[in-house]
């Protein structure tokens, strides 16, 4: 009986120790905040638009590049503008990195595809007229289907 009381007392003492070792929820974690959280805090008017004054007061890292992000010169930026600006910066950084690696390795990559097919080509005039190249056979009309003269289908 004394053994049972001792085990019961021991188990009661262990429960509070286990309860204290619970990891706090992620919401209580004070790590890095997302861009959306920064934007929401800085956007004091809650209209989805961040002005330069709002960015200067609450989102300083974006305020430094505000003019680059506001490509339409509206005087405000949205979260989509920030995402597009960051994606463009990342693409430019990766392109420069790959170009440097290619140059170091001696790799020559082809340029953009050109349209050098055998066919109609535009003249270099102010009009957008297209003329056939000399390698194409002239169409005489003999190879075209004929339409019935009475207007009824055949």
Residue 62 inside a domain? The answer is yes
Provide mean pLDDT across the span 63-77: 92
Instruction: List residues bridging with 121 in a β-sheet.
Output: 131
pLDDT recorded at residue 106: 79
How does pLDDT run across 79-104, given as a tens digit for each residue? 999 999 999 999 999 988 888 888 88
Residue 119 inside a domain? The answer is no
Residue 1 inside a domain? The answer is no
Q: CATH number for the domain including 65?
A: 1.10.238.10
Three-state SS sequence of the chain: CHHHHHHHHHHHHHHHHHHHCCCCCHHHCCCCCCHHHHHHHHCCCCCCCEEHHHHHHHCHHHHCCHHHHCCCCCCEECHHHHHHHHHHHHHHHHHHHHHHHHHHHCCCCCCCCCCCCCCCEECCCCCCCEECCCCCCCCCCCCCCCCCCCCCCC
Per the listing, tokens 């188990």 go with: 11
Provide mean pLDDT across the span 38-61: 92
Residue 97 inside a domain? The answer is yes
Provide mean pLDDT across the span 53-74: 92
| Comparison of pLDDT for 34 and 127, the residue scoring more | 34
Domain encompassing residue 67: 33-105
Q: Considering only CA atoms, which of 41, 56, 50, 59 is closest in space to residue 79?
A: 50
Residue 58 inside a domain? The answer is yes
Query: Is residue 36 pLDDT above 70, yes or no?
Result: yes
Residue 96 inside a domain? The answer is yes
Give me the chain's average pLDDT, please: 75
Instruction: Assign 124 a pLDDT band (cuts: 50, 70, 90).
Output: low
Residue 142 inside a domain? The answer is no
Contact at 8 Å (CB) between 59 and 38? yes
- Cα 138 to Cα 74, 129, 134, 135, 141: the distances in Å are 55, 17, 9, 9, 9
- Number of structural domains in the chain: 1
Six-digit token pair at 93?
């950084």
CA–CA dist 82, 64 (Å, integer):
12
């Amino acid at each position: 009986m004394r053994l049972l009381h001792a085990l019961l007392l021991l188990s009661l003492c262990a429960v509070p120790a286990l309860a204290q070792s619970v990891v706090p929820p992620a919401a209580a974690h004070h790590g890095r905040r997302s861009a959306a959280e920064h934007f929401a805090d800085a956007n004091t008017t809650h209209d989805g638009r961040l002005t330069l004054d709002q960015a200067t007061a609450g989102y300083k890292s974006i305020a430094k590049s505000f003019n680059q992000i506001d490509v339409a010169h509206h005087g405000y930026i949205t979260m989509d503008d920030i995402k597009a600006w960051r994606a463009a910066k990342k693409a430019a950084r990766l392109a420069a990195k790959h170009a440097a690696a290619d140059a170091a390795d001696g790799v020559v990559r082809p340029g953009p595809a050109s349209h050098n097919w055998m066919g109609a080509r535009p003249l270099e005039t102010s009009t957008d007229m297209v003329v056939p190249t000399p390698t194409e056979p002239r169409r005489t009309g003999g190879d075209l289907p004929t339409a019935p003269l009475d207007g009824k289908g055949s």
